[in-house]
């Protein structure tokens, strides 16, 4: 493990007000996204879409890193240039999703545990040789009647910590993603309590496994009421609740907290990140940034719809979302930027 390189990479991911573009949808997830717009599901259509994203002019002005799926890191532009070269030429750091997905947890109805540790050391070595400098593993936690169970939280935290230790051994920065889903009618207070418990458990396990906190990134959910909760809350309340939860649970040694969007609208994801940075500017030990998938890609995908004639407009939409979130990192986002 080269500690200095790990720390440099982790810091570079949060530097210059930039954030991460998550484009690591696995086969099933990208199919769901393409189905919304009747885009055909082939290896070539996925390659074309990923080429559209990665060749967006000036993407590197706002985006520090991109997370790829296994298929994507092996693909190239139509002219034969590998995607990894396109990314690094744009000044962006290539990352890779290494989990094998959240699977039903034995004996725990409605709960999931993420798999993928078997053979991970070998896969990380290969990804590092291909140019990946950071990796992502996502654990999925559901709030419901009597869940999450301690067993689910502990199993997922343990897997995240073992994954993170293996990444650092391979010289790859682990992005640790414990996602508490927005689905459900739970209150914001319940989301706060669960997020707090999950993060405490995750950091306990990271410490047990000897993970160097300065060389990792946390990718969490914001603290929000469930999607069908009767009491929704304002942007500032989300910002205050989220930051309070993280101040209680995330050690100052972690360089960056880069939120997932989790199904929030693009605008709301920018507004909430903006509020956090505006209200707490200069008062926090870590950078607060974004690692959005849907909240950056959705407008571009809805314009592209699989048509080459729409590529330029789709790239403009992708760049606008990247710029809005870059501004939100500085507390400088406003609705006027959307026009
Ligand atoms: C881009 O979507 C990622 C891959 O999901 P699957 O493994 O289910 O295919 C996902 O992990 C994503 O990186 C995070 O959830 C953040 O994306 P959102 O859309 O929540 O910002």
The CATH number assigned to the domain holding 327 equals 3.20.20.70
Residues having CB within 6 Å of any atom of ligand 1:
22, 24-26, 29, 67, 101, 138, 179, 260-262, 292-295
Tally of domains within the chain? 1
Contact 52, 315 (CB under 8 A): yes
The Å distance, Cα 217 to ligand 1 centre, comes to 16
**C-beta separation of 175 from 216 below 8 A:** yes
The ligand 1 atom at the shortest distance from the C-alpha of residue 29 is 9
Q: Is the peptide bond before 148 cis (omega within 30 degrees of 0)?
A: yes
Q: Where are the alpha helices (DSSP H) in the chain?
A: 3-14, 27-35, 43-54, 70-73, 83-89, 120-130, 150-169, 188-208, 235-249, 266-280, 294-304, 311-328
| Atom 4 of ligand 1, residue of closest alpha carbon | 25
Distance of alpha carbon 33 from alpha carbon 43, whole angstroms: 14
Q: How far apart are CA 165 and CA 235, in angstroms?
A: 36
So which residues are the catalytic ones? 177, 219
**Burial (Cβ within 10 Å: 0-12, 13-18, ≥19) of residue 36:** exposed
- What residue has token string 């590529």? 311
Tens digit of pLDDT per residue, the chain (339 long)?
699 999 999 999 999 999 999 999 999 999 999 999 999 999 999 999 999 999 999 999 999 999 999 999 999 999 999 999 999 999 999 999 999 999 999 999 999 999 999 999 999 999 999 999 999 999 999 999 999 999 999 999 999 999 999 999 999 999 999 999 999 999 999 999 999 999 999 999 999 999 999 999 999 999 999 999 999 999 999 999 999 999 999 999 999 999 999 999 999 999 999 999 999 999 999 999 999 999 999 999 999 999 999 999 999 999 999 999 999 999 999 999 998
Which are the contacts of 262, defined by CB distance < 8 A and separation ≥ 6? 179, 181, 182, 221, 222
- What would the DSSP string read from start to end of 265-284? -HHHHHHHHHHHHHHHTT--
Look at residue 1 in the predicted model and tell me its pLDDT.
64
Residues paired with residue 173 on neighbouring β-strands, in sequence order:
134
**What per-residue confidence (pLDDT) applies to 339?**
83
Pocket test for ligand 1, best of 21, 24, 257, 300 (most atoms within 8 A of CB): 24
Interatomic CA distance for residues 206 and 208, integer angstroms: 5
Query: Which residues span the domain enclosing 241?
Result: 3-338
Cβ atoms 139, 114 nearer than 8 A: yes
142 touches 112 (CB < 8 A): yes
- pLDDT at residue 263 in the model: 96
Say how many Å lie between the CA of residue 132 and the centre of ligand 1: 18
Contact present, 154 and 203 (Cβ < 8 Å): no
Closest to 326 (Cα-Cα) out of 294, 287, 285: 287
DSSP label at residue 105: P
């Amino acid at each position: 493990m080269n500690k200095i390189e790990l720390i440099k990479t982790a810091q570079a991911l949060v530097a210059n007000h930039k954030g991460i573009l998550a484009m690591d949808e696995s086969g099933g997830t990208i199919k769901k996204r393409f189905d919304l717009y009747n885009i055909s599901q082939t290896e070539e259509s996925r390659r074309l879409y990923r080429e559209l994203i990665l060749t967006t002019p000036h993407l590197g002005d706002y985006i520090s890193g991109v997370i790829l799926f296994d298929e994507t890191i092996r693909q190239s532009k139509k002219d034969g240039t590998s995607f990894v070269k396109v990314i690094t030429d744009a000044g962006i750091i290539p990352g890779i999703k290494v989990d094998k997905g959240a699977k039903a947890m034995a004996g725990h109805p409605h709960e999931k545990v993420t798999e993928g540790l078997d053979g991970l050391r070998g896969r990380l070595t290969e990804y590092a040789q291909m140019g990946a400098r950071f990796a992502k593993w996502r654990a999925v936690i559901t709030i419901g009647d009597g869940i999450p169970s301690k067993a689910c939280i502990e199993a997922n935290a343990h897997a995240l910590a073992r994954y993170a230790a293996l990444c650092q051994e391979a010289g790859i920065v682990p992005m640790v993603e414990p996602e508490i889903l927005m689905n459900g009618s739970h209150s914001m207070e319940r989301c706060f309590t669960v997020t707090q418990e999950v993060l405490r458990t995750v950091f306990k396990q990271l410490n047990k496994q000897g993970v160097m906190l300065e060389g990792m990134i946390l990718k969490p959910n914001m603290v929000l009421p469930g999607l069908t909760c009767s009491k929704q809350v304002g942007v500032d309340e989300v910002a205050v609740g989220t930051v309070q939860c993280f101040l209680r649970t995330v050690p100052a040694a972690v360089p960056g907290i880069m939120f997932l969007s989790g199904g929030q609208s693009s605008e709301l994801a920018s507004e909430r990140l903006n509020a956090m940075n505006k209200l707490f500017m200069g008062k926090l030990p870590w950078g607060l940034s974004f690692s959005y998938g849907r909240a950056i890609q959705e407008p571009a995908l809805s314009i592209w719809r699989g048509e080459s004639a729409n590529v330029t407009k789709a790239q403009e939409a992708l760049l606008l979302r990247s710029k809005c979130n870059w501004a939100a990192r500085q507390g400088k986002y406003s609705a006027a930027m959307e026009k």
